[in-house]
Amino acid sequence: MKPVVIVKTGEPSPAVVERLGTFEEWILRDMALDQGNAEVVTVFHGAELPPPNSIAGAVVTGSAAMVPELHPWSERTASWLRRLVASGSPVLGICYGHQLLAHALGGRVDNNPRGREIGTVRVRLLPAAKTDPLFSGMPNELTVQATHLQSVLELPVDAVPLGESADDPHHAFRFGSCAWGVQFHPEFNARIMRTYLAERHDLLVREGLDPEELATRVEDPGHGTQLLQVFARIVGLPIASATA
């Protein structure tokens, strides 16, 4: 089969990478991808993206960058995403990838007026999710992990809202038949989330948040992994291979 491309737009902090791994490693793990059916393209280091018709689909990772900064590598990736969506190839944008997908399709991204959202969050699925190919088998409320300062403030025209949290009304959306953005990190588990909270302890305190209390509320019932497994089936991986 054609490869699934992991579009790498950034890295976790060096301490997180050393202890727990990278965005693409967690995504590859949950989608049961390996070197035979996946390709990692590090766009923030200038790597070239493949022609849309040469791949089975794509996952766009998170990043410490900000979409409104309009980095040249990010804008090149946005242009590629427009072509990918037009080709009908499945795409899933995660966190920065979610925001970049929305930006590429005409939405608006900027600082979330409600401030930082970090820790385990509850994402309430909206009515359209009941018949959505990615979300239809999911619970009405997802328990997932998130960490972001910016959000999609305006969805692209014709985008379908699929999920919201208390601090972000655009936590998930679909554009067309098979392009999705999720603000949360489906590839994060509880250990990863607690590590992020511990590493950002002082910053969170300065922002008026309580990292210790947030850490006590971290839980992971596996909804993020389930979502990535469903996306693996959408891009054509055998159902039996998409296991945690």
SS3 assignment for 68-118: HHCCHHHHHHHHHHHHHHHHCCCEEEECHHHHHHHHHCCCEEEECCCCCEE
How far is Cα 194 from Cα 208, in angstroms, rounded to an integer? Answer: 18
Q: Specify the CATH superfamily of domain 4-241.
A: Class I glutamine amidotransferase (GATase) domain (3.40.50.880)
Q: What is the pLDDT at residue 229?
A: 96
Taking residues 71-79, report their average pLDDT.
98
Q: What is the pLDDT at residue 238?
A: 64
Q: What is the pLDDT at residue 244?
A: 36
Q: In the chain, which ranges are E strands?
A: 4-8, 38-42, 57-60, 91-94, 108-111, 117-125, 141-148, 150-154, 160-165, 168-175, 179-182
| Residue 223 DSSP SS3 | helix
Return the domain boundaries, the chain. Answer: 4-241
- Check: CB of residue 90 under 8 Å from CB of residue 235: yes
Q: What is the pLDDT at residue 242?
A: 41
**Annotated catalytic, 11?**
no
Q: What is the pLDDT at residue 150?
A: 98
**Annotated catalytic, 154?**
no
Catalytic residue among 39, 95, 148, 171: 95
pLDDT over 90 (residue 204)? yes
Q: Could you report the per-residue pLDDT of 100-126, keeping only the tens digit for each?
A: 999 999 999 999 999 999 999 999 999
pLDDT over 80 (residue 12)? yes
**Annotated catalytic, 178?**
no
Side chain identity at residue 195, one-letter code: T
| Residue 227 DSSP SS3 | helix
Catalytic residue among 103, 148, 170, 185: 185
Catalytic residue among 24, 39, 117, 187: 187
